[in-house]
Structure 1
Amino acid sequence: MHTVIIGVGGVGGYFGGKIAYSGQKVTLLARGKHLEAIKKKGLVVKSIEGDFSVKPYQVTNNIDIVEKADVILVCTKSWQVREAARQIQPILKEDTVVIPLQNGADNVEKLEQELKTEHILGGLCKIYSKIESPGTILHFGFPPEIIFGNVFNKESEKLEKVKRIFDTAGIKNKIADDINVAIWRKFMFIAAVSGLGALTRATIGEMYSDMELRKILAMVVSEIYQVAKAKKVNLEETAVSATMDFIAGQPFDSTASTQRDILEGRPSELEDFNGYIVKEGKRLGVETPANKFVYYCLKPMEEKARK
């Protein structure tokens, strides 16, 4: 089985590294200094679950020299998903499985615009990780997990193929009964803490501890829930309170990657998070004032980062 990782940041680097470390065939599509460092010394992963280093089967920035893939994990930022889908066309086989693991609610839709639906599974991951330095991934939060599932059909063979890869690598994983619900559950959390975290420059714990900020977090989460329901996502009625409980349980000093990107002047997923909710809310007739405030306050920083 050949697994190809598109995007070797905190997510792709950690999970690609774990799969390769278990002895499986892995190709990493990386770039820049990160690429050169991995080629030179291998991929180093510093983790609360134990450090390791590994030299994958192949590390390159040239898709033309990559062998056909059995499974492709798309671990780019959400705004790069369509480009990644176009990039992987030459390495698709008839039964290749493609799973997006980045944050965002519409990544499957973006893949669908470029790929045949029979290739696509829905997916998400739960992890706190980042590139510490070129060639080195730092995992600094709770035990990581991948959740994935069918979107377009009920076929189980592809799910089991993917599960074997994750199980062999020792990656906690779960096949979701309804992957759309799982994606939106995470999205309610990540879009809320990312946008408001960037606006306040506060950690998740600091935001939740402040009663007024906690109320605003709940407003943002509630609006996302209302948009999801308007899109016919089968979220349970307790989803908002469950999300707030989940936020309460996060490490006090934790921050989201999109929040860090915004504060450090890098292009971020703002458009795919709060911006997406504002646009979908307008399309569906759902009022989203809290998300709109967060989005338009941060938009000038995002535009500056992309110049």
Structure 2
Amino acid sequence: MRILVVGAGATGGFFGALLARAGQDVTFLVRPQRAAALRERGLRITGLGEEWAIEPRLVTADESAGADVSYDLVLLSVKSTALDRALEDVAPAVGPGTAIVPLLNGLAHLDALSARFGTDRVLGGVAKVVTTLDETGDIVRLAPLAHLTIGEQDGTASPRVERIAKTLAEAGIDVRVPADVVDAMWHKWVFITTLGATTSLMRGTVGEVNAVPGGPELGPAILAEAAAVAAAAGRPIPAEELALTRDTVTKQGSPLVPSLYRDVLAGRPTEVEHLFGDLVARARELDVPTPLLDLATLHLRVHQRRAVAATS
């Protein structure tokens, strides 16, 4: 199977490296600056007591544009803020038999991808992995959690999903094929917005939030709002998923923060519109009140304006 991984960051780089290490035909589509760093240092995975590296096969958008090469599988792992550019960059690599698996949070990207390449080429996907890039560009694992969920958007079983799942599993990736992948995407969306709002509003880790009076009540209150939006959209969150998220955001002493919070602390732009703007817009359409999520969205929009101004 010929595989193109769009982006070699903390998520795409990690899963792509596992596939390449297992002998799969993997190419990474990256920006020139990232390509230069990877050619010099290799793609390195560290953390949790392990350290290993691969020499990745790389291509930039300019190189891809002139190549008559299509791929069987495209793993799209970019920030939502880079999605429009990624659609253009990946277009030359998409052929009649290409399956695209996006690993973005939220849901709006499914519409954008389907509009550009056709719904029949676009699967649903969820990545759960706790990784980050360090100052050298190495991928650091912060926790053992690491699995991918994939499936057809319409929930049907298909031979191509079976083939992709088999390829991922053979590389040592924990892969899951649920009855409805869009449900799974909603579950992750509710989780990540709850965690992101809790930590970003309070400017602290989960443990720091829960160490002060009133802190343990915040996460569950945000979760209730996000879950109400999902339920109104016809995607109710199962009790076990709600319990897992509630336990995560109320855990005493937890150092956990999402990548969104790390971006806020570093003064970098965030995925506020894709994650929060889209969710509260759906809440308005469904007549679901979300005062805490509205506040988090406003807070992150102010940060976004400041961050974008600083980089322009």
Alignment equivalent of 2:206, drawn from 189, 204, 207? 204
State the match for 2:46 in structure 1. 46
TM-score (norm: length of structure 2): 0.90
Alignment of 1:228-243 (within 5 A): 228-236=230-238, 239-243=241-245
Residue 126 of structure 2 contacts residue 185 of structure 2 at CA under 8 Å; is this kept in 1? yes
SS in 1 for 2:172: coil
Residues 17/65 of structure 1: CA separation in 2 closer, same or farther (3 Å cut):
farther
Residues 153/118 of structure 1: CA separation in 2 closer, same or farther (3 Å cut):
farther
Segments of 5+ residues of structure 2 without an aligned counterpart are none
Residues 239/126 of structure 1: CA separation in 2 closer, same or farther (3 Å cut):
closer
TM-score (norm: length of structure 1): 0.92
Q: Deviations over 1:199-220 (max 9, x none)?
A: 2221122224445223221121
SS in 2 for 1:140: strand
Which stretches of structure 1, 4 residues or longer, exceed 6 Å deviation after superposition? none
Shift of 1:274: 2.4
Count of residue pairs brought into register by the alignment: 307
Alignment of 1:49-198 (within 5 A): 50-62=50-62, 63-65=64-66, 67-152=69-154, 154-198=156-200
State the match for 2:17 in structure 1. 17
Q: Deviations over 1:187-233 (max 9, x none)?
A: 11111111231222211222244452232211211111111112111
Partners of 2:155 and 2:186 lie apart in 1 by 19
The amino acid of 1:125's aligned partner reads A
Q: Deviations over 1:24-71 (max 9, x none)?
A: 111111224332111123211113263211012334343325531111
Shift of 1:237: 5.1
**Residue range with higher mean Cα deviation, 26-35 or 245-254:** 245-254
Q: Deviations over 1:74-99 (max 9, x none)?
A: 11012333432333221112121101
Residues 44/107 of structure 1: CA separation in 2 closer, same or farther (3 Å cut):
same
The amino acid of 2:6's aligned partner reads I
RMSD: 2.1
Residues 109/249 of structure 1: CA separation in 2 closer, same or farther (3 Å cut):
farther
Partners of 2:175 and 2:249 lie apart in 1 by 21
Partners of 1:61 and 1:179 lie apart in 2 by 30
Partners of 1:299 and 1:139 lie apart in 2 by 29
Residues 211/151 of structure 1: CA separation in 2 closer, same or farther (3 Å cut):
farther
**Residue range with higher mean Cα deviation, 247-256 or 125-134:** 247-256
**Residue range with higher mean Cα deviation, 266-275 or 148-157:** 148-157
Residue 49 of structure 1 contacts residue 143 of structure 1 at CA under 8 Å; is this kept in 2? no
Partners of 1:91 and 1:255 lie apart in 2 by 35
Alignment equivalent of 1:217, drawn from 216, 219, 232? 219
Partners of 1:272 and 1:13 lie apart in 2 by 22
Segments of 5+ residues of structure 1 without an aligned counterpart are none
SS in 2 for 1:95: coil
Q: Deviations over 1:142-183 (max 9, x none)?
A: 231111111136242111121122112111111111112211
Partners of 1:115 and 1:299 lie apart in 2 by 30
Partners of 1:23 and 1:257 lie apart in 2 by 30
Alignment of 1:257-276 (within 5 A): 257-276=259-278
SS in 2 for 1:186: helix
Partners of 1:87 and 1:120 lie apart in 2 by 16
